[in-house]
Amino acid sequence: MTGNHLEAILKQASAKLDKDGFLALPDGAAVTLYVAHDGASLTVSKVEALKLDGELVSARTSKRETYTVVQSDVFALAVEGTVGQPPVRRAGFG
């Protein structure tokens, strides 16, 4: 995936630049990042913000974990949640 692809997807998802230089998604939205390299795959879910730095993509999750991968290894993004809507609350204890 190219930087232009990533930027277009994040723009469509209404991501905004935050103080740390990440493109942060609005509340209630998240991204799942699909990455593969030499037959090994990685899925990073509940990504709240992405940062593009040359050939590197850093993904910050809702648990405040940060994954950094090579941009060319990213083959898909799935945008979850409705942009601009409050997050869905699941039944149960929170």
pLDDT of residue 3: 84
Which residue do the tokens 């799935």 mark? 78
pTM comes to 0.81
Which CATH code for domain 3-80?
Answer: 2.30.30.520
Collect the ranges in the chain with pLDDT lower than 50: none
pLDDT of residue 61: 96
Q: Which residues contact 30 (CB under 8 A, 6 or more apart)?
A: 45, 46, 47, 48, 62, 79, 80, 81
pLDDT of residue 66: 96
| Domain boundaries defined on the chain | 3-80
Q: What is the pLDDT of residues 30-51, one digit of tens each?
A: 999 999 999 999 999 999 999 9
pLDDT of residue 82: 61
